[in-house]
Structure 1
């Protein structure tokens, strides 16, 4: 059976609208809301493993409310930046009130960063270190480090179905991927890739995520069947036609796809 991927958030670290900004995209996001973006997070539903989230950012409570959910059991964490873990405290509080424990899967160094900052989370959340490929229902999950530019590094997840070998990957925060880091991304059925700007104007050494033009060049090499861009800033206006290839698009809150 396929996995249903629901995009609960597709924004960059500041979200859209940015509180200080009055650009056309932010103003539209405040009114009709086409460009409103909560911080990046996806919800996975599959008969073989149930429900899992990737990341738990500062909009987690609002995202849970919108989805009509009162609890989530398991979360995969890409890295320990604020926009990807700030909701863990609220998740832990929900665990405490409900008398349940959550399970978070992350690389050992990511767990170390989180628990050093928030040691009390361990009372309510079991942090499971990823030591290599692991099984999630009918899927084998691989996790590997990717360059995150000026922000250091993050991790990507690749899901490969053990029955039919369909594969997809979630790589929300990366730039200047090395050949080794790109290798798991070739020939995917679906790639979810972070792209903040259409053409980012800032010096390359100050940046942390691909822009759309760079990502399109990368896709010519990787050749995924479909690509959805996430981690999108207020530079991208969904009302505009960017003339993207047919198999490439911008993810948005509420979008659901199956793999």
Structure 2
């Protein structure tokens, strides 16, 4: 496989703006020790990552907490919004991006199914006669294994399975971001060769889930691709208190937290 597909021109800064599962943490109505914790690392917004090079700015997913997540950041344009899949906790904040229309169209990239569903759930953003103030959205269909070039960043979409639903993960240089994965086909593994920094989902330690990995699954996957540094995201309150959960993590795995910044060469 052509190694140039996995290179980029400058180092990457990755900010994990959200590391929580679909309901976030604290969970509504729950009084467990995690949901009552005062440790900010136990407070988890829905999963979003910001990837930045020297000249390019990309969001991965845009969940319903995006306004809160972006408010502390500089108000600058995004070159792309990558969408892993259509579930609400990953796309429910697209309308909140409307202020960024002052910089031009908001470019959303997803597979055919995701792009189709965005049109269906936000019909007021598409068509000939748009009302004033509507988000200016551009949908771009992407496919697994077809490289995408945004600014100085090269992106390789890959396919993983969210239960029985195929969704996208993204390889960017030596960094890979995968969320909501249950399984992955052997044919995808060559596209992850050489990944050094991996962000991947694991819902909790125990109790099997039909469409999400557990921590042991994530550890096995990280070892399988040879990642040097692995960060666990898309976590629910059942993971336990941050310090205790981190001590339980298998060797080489770290429990990610909201606001964590990763430097990827």
Could you tell me how far 1:146 is from its partner in structure 2?
1.1
Alignment match of 1:228 (pick from 224, 228, 231) = 231
Aligned residue for 2:168?
155
- How many correspondences in the alignment? 243
Gaps of 5+ in 1: 161-166
1:27 counterpart SS class:
coil
Query: Is the contact made by 2:197 and 2:227 (CA closer than 8 Å) also made in structure 1?
Result: yes
Q: Are residues 1:249 and 2:261 paired?
A: no
2:6 counterpart residue number: none
What's 1:164 paired with?
none
Decide which of 83, 86, 91 is 2:89's aligned counterpart: 83
Contact 1:153 1:174 in 2 (8 A): no
- Tell me, in whole angstroms, the C-alpha distance in 1 between the residues paired with 2:69 and 2:125: 21
Distance 1:71 1:168 in 2: 22
Mapped to 1, the partners of 2:125 and 2:36 lie a distance apart of 37
The change in CA–CA distance for 1:134 and 1:12 in structure 2 (over 3 A counts) is: same
Kindly report the root-mean-square deviation, in angstroms, between the aligned alpha carbons of the 2 structures: 2.0
**Which TM-score applies when normalising by structure 1?**
0.86
Match of 2:42 among 35, 45, 61: 35
Between stretches 60-69 and 243-252, larger displacement belongs to 243-252
**Are the counterparts in 1 of residues 77 and 103 from structure 2 also a CA contact under 8 Å?**
no
Counterpart for residue 4 of structure 2: none
Q: 1:226 to 1:32 in 2, by over 3 A?
A: closer
Q: Deviations over 1:56-107 (max 9, x none)?
A: 000000001132436545211111110000001111x3245x3732111112
- Partners of 2:179 and 2:58 lie apart in 1 by 17
Contact 1:147 1:153 (8 Å CA) reproduced: yes
* C-alpha separation in 1, matches of 2:183 and 2:45: 25
Gaps of 5+ in 2: 1-9, 131-135
Q: Offset of 1:46 from its aligned partner? A: 0.5
User: What pairs with 1:158-169 in structure 2 (closer than 5 Å)?
Assistant: 158-160=171-173, 167-169=174-176
State the distance in 1 between where 2:235 and 2:190 align: 24
In the alignment, structure 1 residue 130 sits paired with structure 2 residue 139: no
Are 1:193 and 2:200 an aligned pair?
Answer: yes
Answering whether residue 212 of structure 2 is matched by residue 209 of structure 1, we say yes
Deviates more, 1:51-60 or 1:185-194: 185-194
SS for the counterpart of 2:204 is: coil
Deviation of 1:251 after TM superposition, in Å, equals: 1.2
Q: TM-score, normalised by structure 2?
A: 0.84
Partner-residue secondary structure (3-state), 1:34: helix
Corresponding residue to 1:57 among 63, 66, 70 = 63
SS at match of 1:135: strand
Counterparts of 2:154 and 2:56 in 1: how far apart (Å)?
15
